[in-house]
Structure 1
Amino acid sequence: MLDPVQDNSDITLVVMDMAGTTVADDGAVIRAFDTAATAVGLPGTGPERDAARKYVLDTMGQSKIAVFGTLFGSGERAAQANAAFETAYERYVDEGGIAPIPGAEKAITQLREAGIKVALTTGFSPATQRRILAALDWTDIADLVLAPADAGRGRPYPDLVLTALLRAGADDVRHIAVIGDTSSDITSGLRAGAAIVAGTRTGAHDAATLRAAGATHVLDSVADLPALLLSA
């Protein structure tokens, strides 16, 4: 049997979610979803729209094209919804509607200066992810950036975390820490075997939801992560 990781100082790679964890977008995901739902003919009000919104909230952090596939069935309709969503969200980004979570940039810098690699991950397309990074002037902030299209499947599958491990050259899943604001982030990290799977209370899901999903830690913000990992 392999020896367990002894303490947090063994972490060599941190996989961070973007929207809600390192990036604040003031509810732009739901607004962009409403645009997408209207584009494919979902009634603007009523039980069908309410149920769809709830599903989007419950599945925050997951691949958006996969979410639309579940909601709208056919490949063509899901693709149409996803295209409308991406256009609406990117317009919001271009209008200055996003900002770093306070302390996020400093946290990433501290971790990298301590020799820990950082991967930024998202449920958006690579094009939207690049748009967000460019808008924040974060093009070079992390060691690598990944979207579901880069990994095979998005959250709650472990693919993003495991792809980060491979690309970063990490040698053990037990040397990975994952942080995100949704239950899907937590499930993804646990399925990948990460030693630390932390939830943060700055996004879609509250502390109780994150703990119920199995979070090893719940932090007020990603800004608290260096203290957790570098204190040993």
Structure 2
Amino acid sequence: MPPVTTDIRLVVLDMAGTTVADGGLVERAFEAAAAELGVEPGSAEHAEHLAYVRATMGESKISVFRHLFGAEDRARRANTAFEKAYGDLVDGGLIAPVPGAEEAIRKLAEGGRTVVLTTGFARVTQDAILDALGWQGSSFPVSLTLCPADAGGRGRPYPDMVLEAFVRTKAAEDVRQVAVVGDTSYDVLSGVRAGAGLVAGVRTGAHGDAEFRAAGATHVLDSVADLPALLLGDR
């Protein structure tokens, strides 16, 4: 594994698949969105759409639906159905932290790093996840949470949320002092495009080593739980 040569001061972490284990709820919520638009389960169209959803994990969900359904009104109908379905699943207690994620976030904060959580979901869904996990408030050491709308509307693979975290927190003097960690190639690509000094893919979610390396990852980790040791020089 390459050494960490930069002084990392800001850590930008993805949520679903990276710090949050959702057990495939994205695909389950997509079923509701597809049904809203009249896509028949088991059809070739449904299979094609699901393949695209899997390939673009990490991207802003409204952007995914714009690609799949074209017209803005159809995309928004799909997105609304998706967000409602996902929110209902969250309310049903079907999410949990990735093992070791909470401890990792606390260790990073205790070690002097500023931690930001990002997502491709809408703010209402992001807040539902944070509330369900008890990750809101001063007792949890996350300085900022961002969704695509907080960064001008463009989600991953654009670098906007990473750069928004850099600008808002003022935790780093140089983008090379930023670490970006996620479970998809789009997470990795957003970090690379932002110029982050460390960009790591984690094996707890949608994509694997080949996708991470192709997107330009500097590191691949089994889990976000391994990040503090990497950054704090314990290995």
1:171 to partner: Cα distance: 1.7
The equivalent of 2:155 in structure 1 is: 154
Aligned residue identity for 1:230:
L
User: 3-state SS of the aligned residue for 2:87?
Assistant: helix
Q: What is the distance in 2 between the residues matched to 1:27 and 1:74?
A: 27
The equivalent of 2:118 in structure 1 is: 121
Give CA deviations for 1:186-229 in whole Å, capped at 9, x if unaligned: 00000000000000000000122112211110000000000110
Aligned residue identity for 1:148:
P
Q: What is the distance in 2 between the residues matched to 1:163 and 1:171?
A: 14
Q: What is the distance in 1 between the residues matched to 2:210 and 2:88?
A: 33
User: 3-state SS of the aligned residue for 1:119?
Assistant: strand
Aligned mate of 1:64, from 31, 39, 61: 61
The equivalent of 2:194 in structure 1 is: 192
Q: What is the distance in 2 between the residues matched to 1:120 and 1:227?
A: 19
The equivalent of 1:145 in structure 2 is: 145
Aligned residue identity for 2:201:
G
* 1:146-185 → structure 2 map (5 Å cutoff): 146-152=146-152, 153-169=154-170, 170-185=172-187
The equivalent of 2:5 in structure 1 is: 7
1:144 to partner: Cα distance: 0.4
Structure 2: tracts of 5 or more residues without a match? none
1:47 to partner: Cα distance: 1.3
Superposition TM-score, scaled by structure 1 size: 0.96
Q: What is the distance in 1 between the residues matched to 2:175 and 2:134?
A: 30
The equivalent of 1:225 in structure 2 is: 227
The equivalent of 1:103 in structure 2 is: 100
Q: What is the distance in 1 between the residues matched to 2:54 and 2:174?
A: 32
Superposition TM-score, scaled by structure 2 size: 0.94
1:74 equivalenced with 2:75 (yes/no):
no
User: 3-state SS of the aligned residue for 1:71?
Assistant: helix
Q: What is the distance in 1 between the residues matched to 2:123 and 2:165?
A: 15
Aligned residue identity for 1:158:
P
Alignment coverage as a number of residue pairs: 227
Aligned-pair identity (%): 61
1:136 equivalenced with 2:136 (yes/no):
no
User: 3-state SS of the aligned residue for 1:120?
Assistant: strand
Give CA deviations for 1:31-77 in whole Å, capped at 9, x if unaligned: 10011011111122221111100000000000000000000000000
User: 3-state SS of the aligned residue for 1:190?
Assistant: helix
Structure 1: tracts of 5 or more residues without a match? 1-5
1:97 to partner: Cα distance: 0.2
Give CA deviations for 1:4-28 in whole Å, capped at 9, x if unaligned: xx824x1000000000000000000
User: 3-state SS of the aligned residue for 1:61?
Assistant: coil
